[in-house]
Each structure stands twice: as structure tokens, then as C-alpha cells.
């Protein structure tokens, strides 16, 4: 695989006093589904616009297949964008919208027809070809926008929050469709989103961006299970943070002391030493809540803390518990397997036990 | 939908009635009166005489076809130049930030604070033979002669119709811009330009400029995107702007009266002359009717032709869709 297919090399972009993108270096593989994930205003769209040619970086270069494209205007880059609002041409039919780039390239008529029909078939809109964008539903517009950007086989397809304007059901459907299209065309997709769910389910790799910097670049599982920073841990999914100091190191494990709280055992994968301040992140679904203490076969080494149920939110697939233990708030998720037979029900103000395995906590170092 | 009281038939009539009454009183009735006058003679004291076809018979004046043609040609020129200037203006204003937009749009309306006749008088001064505009005009004539003088006669005539040249040989040494057709076109464009900019600006303001970005993204050059995406996008504004300029230009008489001299007499001047100076109201009415018909017939033909084209286009699209669905289905099966 070509590791230098698309490269951002120390790219910086400022808008007045605001630094939108700060010294970002990234490389995207050929054919990859790559996501830029971050909160709104983090600079991910600016990165995309610089790749599209709509903004010029203040410093740094952008390379595509070894060629420096930093200074090329948008119409000279074989990089197409699917815009958030689709930006379909309202005065043209679906057919003419899709054929736009081919006709610009002065492609022979028969080939245009062939390619556009093939695209229409792929997005399953052959019978809508002569409609105008205003006559289409949101999902159909979305598909036309994708077809229009893919029809002349660009080197990279940029998708700028393409699903943000769709409702939940349609969004889930389009996610699958995007995945299928990516598999079919084999073009590199660069996907910008603030929705971690979208990024996680589609991407080969994700760059988590915050305040113009890349916080972490890794696969979805790694980003979720081994977040590189407190920001990544809190942005991707819910989590419990325990802020404390390492007081004992015991082989691969260590003990963390939090004021007014029993010591927490955690896996010390970063080989931190005593005295180091850490943020321990424990995902809610990894924390169990039971009325009785955990069975002894779970081992004596797990973390068990008595606590009190403060709030319960039933959400169908799972129930969310808010608990208080020695003054600390802890949240836990419990999936439902068998309705009514899920042990005895836990209700408000019950005295319960909260427990998790030390391996399920992940430590994020705190810089001093 | 049906619970909405405004959607019922009766309420619809009630709501639209005032505008119908307005149109009837101030448009339909006067039009009928004007048409009726043409079938009357006139009496010596300037009143409207008995029913007669004499007015129409008098209208067979060898000058009139040329004047009608001139009026249409000049109005067309004025419309063309106004639109050519107004489209970039509207585009530029719509792309400005909100504060500048208000300032510029406001300053376009500023001349309306001065009387129209006063403004035309001001032009009379500016176009004086000793002025710098006269010098520009002479240069313009020389350049035009150099550009087009060698062309064959038929092509020269085509240029005349396109408004790029004036009829007959021009003696550069004695030409003045004042009292010429050029002055009429220039000042008419000046006068009607705001009426062209405003509807275009309104349309351009609603235009989604990210579409131009999308076109650039797909490989279009700036001008191509402007032509293929922006112009069709403001089509409604273009139609309004053309009508807003062409219609008043057809009826204009103050500008040719004050700046056109003897060279540029338009139908408006003739109507004015017949109605006010000769006090022959039926004759003036007949001229107005003649002018209206001369404009409405080509427009009617154009609308009919456009409708026929649209219907044909729709039919072709339907056939193509049917074919596409069939082949698509065949492939799937």
C-alpha cells in the first residue's frame, strides 16, 4: 500500500487571530476510508477546503500522489467534494448534474451516457434521471451529489458532513450505502464529521482533531479503547474520569489514589512511575452494577466500590445508571438481555456495588 | 390545507379582488378607452369627434414604420447595454458583506432623489461639444471606423442592427455627441440601469454562491461557472430586468426630446407631438396602439415558440426516461 498517497506536510492556516489548523501533518493511504473527526470549529473543514483548493495554507504543503498541489486552483485538482448542503445545480436535471464534470472534460457523448447511466444505476436512481433536484428527497439528493463527484473518477473524494442534514433512519441507511459505494469504486474517501458514530462505523482510520491539531490518528477500536488524551476519551463516547496520583506500582498494575476515595487498581500499560498524576478513563459499559458483591470467582483483584443509585435512565437497548460512591459520580451502562429476568431490579437510592476489572481502565497521562 | 380559511375559493376571490379592481380601473379601462379613441375622428378644437375610421387612414404615413423600427432597435440596444452592465454589478453587490451591500445598493437608488428632468438637463451640460465626453465620443467614432470600416456593406448593416454602428457614413470631424442617437442610448442606459440592477440584485442575493464553488470543484473555470450556473440561477431576475428596461425605453420621449436632436425621433416623441402640440388625441391613441401591437406580436410569437419548445423538450425527456428505465430493468433482470 502506498503510504504517501495524500500528504499534509506541516500545514498551518490562520483566519485573522484564529489559528484554524496548526502544523498538521497527516498521510492518507490510497483507497482508504479516512475520517477527520472533531467538534465543530476544530479545523477539520478547513483542512478539507485546503485539499479542495478553496483555501490556501499559510505554511506547509499538500501532496497528492507525490505531486505538490498546494497552489493549484480547485478546477485543476482531481479531487471532488460532496458538500454538506449537496450544492446540486437547481437549474439542471439529475442527469445533467452528474454529467457536468464529464461534459466539462469534453468527453464524447456516448461515453458520457454510458458513465452517467452506470452511476445512476449504482445509486439506484435511474428512474429519477430527468427530475430536478428540488423534486428529490434528502437521501436522493445526497446520492446524486455523491454520483456527481464520483463520475469522473477523482483521486480523492471529500465528504463534508454529508449526512448531517438527514434524519436518523436515513442516516443509518446512507452509512451502509456509503460503505458499499466505497467498496465498489475503490477511491480514497476523506470524510469530515463531528459524529463519532459515523466515523467509527465507516473508517479504516480516524484522525481526531481538536483546536487545529491532530490529537490521535488510529483505527476506530484503538481510538475508543486506547484514547491518546483526555479530549479523545471524552469526545469519543461517554466515559468516567478518575483523576489521581499513582501511589504503588505492582508488576504490570498500579494503584491510583484519589482524595477521599479507595485506591483504584489499573493496568499500567504506559509503565508510569509512582508520583505520576493520571486521568483514568473507564467506559460506562465496562462498569457493572449489582445489589450483591461480585462473585468470588471474578478474583480478588478487581475494583469493587459500594455506592448508591442516584438516577436511572431507561433507553431500550440498555439502562444508564448514575451512581455516587464516596462523593464521586460514576455512570454505568447495562445492556438488557432478557426482559423481566434480568436479576432483581435496581431502583433509585438502592445500595449497590460498582465493579470493573483493572484491565478495563485506561490511563491517560497528565502533563505536569 | 382545507381548514385554512384563506385557501377556500371565496376567500381567494376576496383577497385578490382589490388588485383586480386596481388593474381594471388603472389599466384595462384606460387601454380600452385608448383603443376606442382610435376609431374616432378629431375635431378642430382638439376634442374627440364622431366614430370614424379616418384616424387609421391618416396613420399611413411613410415615416411611421421607420420610427417604430428605430424605437424598437434603440430600446433593444438600451436593454442590452443595461443588462450587460447590471449583471456584473448585481453579482458584485450580492458578494459584498452585509454592510457594504446596503451602502452600495442605497447609492444606486440615490439619483432618484433628484428630478429626472433635472438629471437629463445635467447630461445636456456634460455632453456639450466643448466637454470631455465629446472628445471621448470622437475617439470612439475613430476606433469604430478603424474596426469596422473595411467590412462589406451587408456586415456593416448587421452591425447597425446590433447597435454597434450608426446608419450611414459618419463624418467624424463634424459629429457631436449631443443631439445624436448615441446620446439617447447613453443617457437611457444611465436612467434605466437601476431598474435593471435591482431585480438582478434581488435574484443574485438569493443565489447560493456555494454552487459556484461546487462547479469549480468539478473542474469548471470561473467564467464557465458564471455562465452555466450563475446566469441560469438568476433567470427570473433577468426576465424582470429586461422588462423593467425595455418597456419604459419603448415609451420614453423626454430623453430623445432633449438629447436626440433631429436625428433621433422616437414613437414617444410622435405621440407627445400629436397629443399635446396638434391636440389630436385619436391620432396619438392610434400611434400608441400601433406601438403596443408592434411589440406584443413578436413577444407573443416568442412565448408561443418557447412553450412549444418546452413541451417538445418534456416529451423527449419522458421518452428518454422510459428508455433508460427499460434498459436499467433489463440489465438488472
DSSP code, position A346: P
Is residue A42 one of the residues assigned to a domain? Answer: yes
Q: Is A152 on the interface with B (CB under 8 A)?
A: yes
A182-236 pLDDT per residue, tens = 999 999 999 999 999 999 999 999 999 999 999 999 999 999 999 999 999 999 9
Whether residue A175 is contained in a domain is answered as yes
| Residue A195 forms part of a structural domain | yes
Residues from chain B that touch A129, judged by Cβ atoms under 8 A, are 320-321, 324
Chain B residue at shortest CA distance from A84:
B210
pLDDT classification of B4: cutoffs 50, 70, 90: low
Averaged confidence pLDDT in chain B: 86
- In whole angstroms, give the CA distance from residue B292 to residue B248: 12
Kindly provide the b/e burial profile for residues B202-220, where b requires at least 16 CB atoms within 10 angstroms of the residue's own CB. Answer: bbbeebeeebbbbbbbbbb
For every residue of B237-262, DSSP letters joined together read HHHHHHHHHHHHHHH--HHHHHHSTT
- Cβ count within 10 A of residue B138: 15
- What is the mean predicted confidence (pLDDT) over B93-119? 91
Q: Which residues of A touch B217 (CB under 8 A)?
A: 52-54, 74-75, 79-81, 149
A141 within a domain of the structure (yes/no) = yes
- In the prediction, which pLDDT does B1 show? 43
Chain B residues with beta carbon closer than 8 angstroms to that of A85:
208, 210
Share of chain B above pLDDT 90, in %: 48
**Is the model's pLDDT at B328 over the cut of 60?**
no
* Tens-place pLDDT, residues B190-201: 999 999 999 999
CB B192 within 8 A of CB B80: no
Query: Is A129 in Cβ contact with B210 (below 8 Å)?
Result: no
Residues in chain B: 333
Domains of chain B: 62-117+178-278 (1.10.3720.10), 128-175 (no CATH)
A237 Rama sector, left if φ>0, alpha if ψ -120 to 50, beta otherwise: left
Q: Please identify, among A181, A201, A234, the residue that sits at the C-terminal boundary of a domain.
A: A234
Tens-digit pLDDT profile for residues A90-136: 999 999 999 999 999 999 999 999 999 999 988 889 888 888 999 99
Torsion of CA B117, B119, B122, B127, to 10 degrees: -100
CB contact under 8 A, A127 and B216: no
* B152 to chain A, closest Cα gap in Å: 36
B128 within 8 A of B121, measured Cβ to Cβ: no
User: What average pLDDT is seen over chain A?
Assistant: 90
Residues B242-259, mean pLDDT to the nearest whole number: 92
Residues 6+ apart with CB under 8 A from A203: A33, A34, A35, A191, A219, A220
Report chain A residues whose CB lies below 8 A from the CB of B214.
Answer: 81, 83, 87-89
**Per-residue confidence band for A83, with pLDDT thresholds at 50, 70 and 90:** very high
Does A79 map to a domain?
A: yes
Q: Does the structure's ipTM exceed the value 0.90?
A: no
Residue with cell 478539507: A48
Q: A87 vs B210: CB contact, 8 Å cut-off? A: yes
The verdict on residue A12 lying in a domain is yes
Q: What is the mean pLDDT of residues A248-259?
A: 89
Q: Which of residues 201-230 of B touch A (CB under 8 A)?
A: 208, 210-211, 213-221, 224, 229
Asked if residue A313 lies in contact with residue A319, where contact means CB atoms within 8 angstroms, the answer is: yes
CA distance B247 to chain A (A): 27
Helix ranges (DSSP H) in A4-163: 44-52, 94-104, 109-122, 138-150
Residues A44 and A140 in one domain: yes
Residues A344 and A200 in one domain: no
The answer to whether residues A190 and A283 belong to one domain is no
Range of the domain at A138: 6-234
Residues A226 and A246 grouped into a single domain: no
Rounded CA separation B83/B89 (Å): 10
For residue B215, list chain A residues with Cβ-Cβ distance below 8 A. Answer: 89, 100
Cβ contact A52–B217 (<8 Å): yes
Average pLDDT in the B216-245 region? 93
Q: Into how many domains does chain A fold?
A: 2
Q: What are phi and psi of A279, to 5 degrees?
A: -110, 120
Q: Residue A341: is its pLDDT beyond 80?
A: no
Backbone angles phi, psi at A3, to 5 degrees: -80, -15
Note whether B327 contacts A129, CB cutoff 8 Å.
no
Pick the closest to residue B59 from B296, B257, B285 (CA basis).
Answer: B285
pLDDT at B332: 39
Q: Are residues A274 and A227 in the same domain?
A: no
pLDDT at A3 over 70: no
Q: Which residues pair with A157 in a beta bridge?
A: A80, A189
pLDDT for the residue B333: 31
A197 and A247 in a common domain: no
Asked whether residue A272 falls in the same domain as residue A214, the answer is: no
- CA B227 to chain centroid, in Å, comes to 21
* A289-to-A309, A321, A359, B62, B171 alpha-carbon distances in Å: 9, 8, 17, 105, 103
Q: What is the pLDDT of residues A150-163, one digit of tens each?
A: 999 999 999 999 98
CB crowding B114-133: b at 16 or more within 10 Å, else e: eeeeeebeebeebbeeeeeb
Answer yes or no: do B217 and A75 touch at CB < 8 A: yes
- Please provide residue A342's backbone torsions phi and psi, each rounded to the nearest 5 degrees: -70, 70
Q: In the predicted model, what is the mean pLDDT of residues A23-47?
A: 93
Q: Quick one: average pLDDT of B88-98? A: 93
pLDDT at A1: 43
Whether residues A126 and B324 touch (CB distance < 8 A) is answered with: yes
Query: Are A132 and A60 in the same domain?
Result: yes
State residue B36's pLDDT score: 93
Residue of B nearest to A51 (CA): B217
Query: What's A26's domain CATH number?
Result: 3.40.50.300
Please check the confidence at residue B330 and state whether its pLDDT lies above 50. no
Interface test with A, best of B212, B216, B217 (most A CBs within 10 A): B217
* Residue A251 or A156, more confident: A156
Task: Give the pLDDT confidence of B288-313 residue by residue, as tens digits.
Answer: 999 999 889 988 998 999 999 888 88
Does A265 lie at the interface with B, CB-CB under 8 angstroms? no
Q: Is pLDDT above 60 for A30?
A: yes
Amino acid at each position: 500500500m502506498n503510504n504517501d498517497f495524500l500528504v499534509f506536510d506541516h500545514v498551518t492556516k490562520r483566519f485573522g487571530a484564529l489559528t484554524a489548523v496548526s502544523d498538521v501533518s497527516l498521510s492518507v493511504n490510497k483507497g482508504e476510508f479516512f475520517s477527520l473527526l472533531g467538534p465543530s470549529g476544530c479545523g477539520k473543514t478547513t483542512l478539507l477546503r485546503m485539499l479542495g483548493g478553496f483555501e490556501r495554507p499559510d505554511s506547509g504543503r499538500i501532496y497528492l500522489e507525490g505531486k505538490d498541489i498546494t497552489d493549484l486552483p480547485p478546477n485543476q485538482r482531481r479531487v471532488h467534494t460532496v458538500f454538506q448542503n449537496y450544492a446540486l445545480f437547481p437549474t439542471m436535471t439529475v442527469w445533467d448534474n452528474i454529467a457536468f464534470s464529464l461534459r466539462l472534460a469534453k468527453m464524447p457523448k456516448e461515453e458520457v451516457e454510458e458513465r452517467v447511466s452506470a452511476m445512476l444505476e449504482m445509486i439506484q436512481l435511474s428512474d429519477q434521471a430527468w427530475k430536478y433536484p428540488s423534486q428529490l428527497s434528502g437521501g436522493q439528493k445526497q446520492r446524486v451529489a455523491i454520483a456527481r463527484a464520483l463520475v469522473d473518477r477523482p483521486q480523492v473524494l471529500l465528504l463534508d458532513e454529508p449526512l448531517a442534514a438527514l434524519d436518523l433512519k436515513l442516516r443509518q441507511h446512507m452509512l451502509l450505502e456509503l460503505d458499499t459505494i466505497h467498496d465498489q469504486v475503490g477511491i480514497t474517501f476523506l470524510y469530515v464529521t463531528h459524529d463519532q458514530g459515523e466515523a467509527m462505523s465507516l473508517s479504516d482510520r480516524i484522525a481526531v482533531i481538536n483546536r487545529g491539531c491532530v490529537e490521535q490518528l488510529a483505527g476506530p477500536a484503538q481510538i475508543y479503547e486506547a484514547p491518546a488524551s483526555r479530549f479523545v476519551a471524552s469526545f469519543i463516547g461517554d466515559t468516567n474520569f478518575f483523576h489521581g496520583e499513582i501511589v504503588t506500582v505492582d508488576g504490570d498494575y498500579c494503584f491510583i489514589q484519589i482524595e477521599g476515595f479507595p485506591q483504584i487498581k489499573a493496568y499500567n500499560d504506559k509503565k508510569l512511575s509512582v508520583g505520576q498524576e493520571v486521568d483514568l478513563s473507564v467506559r460506562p459499559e465496562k462498569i457493572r452494577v449489582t445489589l450483591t458483591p461480585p462473585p468470588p470467582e471474578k478474583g480478588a483483584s478487581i475494583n469493587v466500590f459500594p455506592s448508591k443509585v442516584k438516577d436511572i435512565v431507561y433507553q431500550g437497548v440498555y439502562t444508564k445508571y448514575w451512581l455516587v460512591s464516596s462523593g464521586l459520580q460514576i455512570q454505568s451502562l447495562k445492556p438488557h438481555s432478557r426482559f423481566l429476568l434480568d436479576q432483581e431490579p435496581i431502583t433509585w437510592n438502592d445500595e449497590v456495588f460498582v465493579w470493573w476489572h483493572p484491565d478495563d481502565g485506561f490511563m491517560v497521562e497528565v502533563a505536569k | 390545507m382545507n381548514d385554512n380559511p384563506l385557501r377556500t375559493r371565496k376567500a381567494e376571490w376576496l383577497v385578490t379582488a382589490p388588485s383586480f379592481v386596481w388593474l381594471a380601473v388603472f389599466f384595462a379601462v384606460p387601454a380600452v378607452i385608448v383603443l376606442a379613441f382610435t376609431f374616432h375622428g378629431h375635431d378642430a378644437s382638439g376634442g374627440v369627434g364622431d366614430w370614424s375610421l379616418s384616424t387609421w387612414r391618416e396613420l399611413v404615413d411613410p415615416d411611421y414604420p421607420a420610427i417604430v423600427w428605430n424605437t424598437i432597435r434603440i430600446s433593444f440596444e438600451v436593454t442590452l447595454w443595461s443588462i450587460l452592465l447590471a449583471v456584473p454589478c448585481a453579482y458584485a453587490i450580492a458578494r459584498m458583506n452585509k454592510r457594504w451591500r446596503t451602502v452600495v445598493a442605497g447609492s444606486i437608488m440615490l439619483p432618484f432623489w433628484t428630478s429626472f428632468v433635472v438629471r437629463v438637463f445635467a447630461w445636456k451640460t456634460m455632453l456639450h461639444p466643448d466637454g470631455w465626453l465629446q472628445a471621448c465620443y470622437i475617439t470612439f467614432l475613430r476606433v469604430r471606423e478603424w474596426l469596422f470600416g473595411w467590412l462589406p456593406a451587408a456586415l456593416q448593416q448587421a452591425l447597425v442592427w446590433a447597435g454597434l454602428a450608426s446608419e450611414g457614413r459618419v463624418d467624424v470631424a463634424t459629429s457631436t455627441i449631443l443631439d445624436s442617437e448615441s446620446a439617447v442610448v447613453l443617457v437611457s442606459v444611465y436612467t434605466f440601469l437601476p431598474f435593471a440592477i435591482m431585480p438582478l440584485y434581488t435574484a443574485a442575493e438569493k443565489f447560493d454562491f456555494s454552487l459556484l464553488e461546487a462547479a469549480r470543484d468539478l473542474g469548471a473555470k470561473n467564467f464557465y461557472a458564471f455562465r452555466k450556473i450563475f446566469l441560469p440561477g438568476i433567470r427570473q431576475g433577468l426576465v424582470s430586468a429586461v422588462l423593467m428596461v425595455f418597456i419604459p425605453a419603448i415609451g420614453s420621449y423626454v430623453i430623445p426630446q432633449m438629447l436626440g436632436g433631429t436625428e433621433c425621433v422616437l414613437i414617444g416623441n410622435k405621440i407627445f407631438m400629436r397629443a399635446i402640440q396638434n391636440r389630436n388625441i385619436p391620432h396619438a391613441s392610434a400611434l400608441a396602439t400601433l406601438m403596443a401591437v408592434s411589440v406584443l406580436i413578436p413577444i407573443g410569437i416568442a412565448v408561443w415558440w418557447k412553450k412549444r419548445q418546452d413541451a417538445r423538450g418534456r416529451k423527449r425527456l419522458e421518452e428518454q426516461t422510459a428508455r433508460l428505465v427499460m434498459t436499467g430493468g433489463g440489465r438488472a433482470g
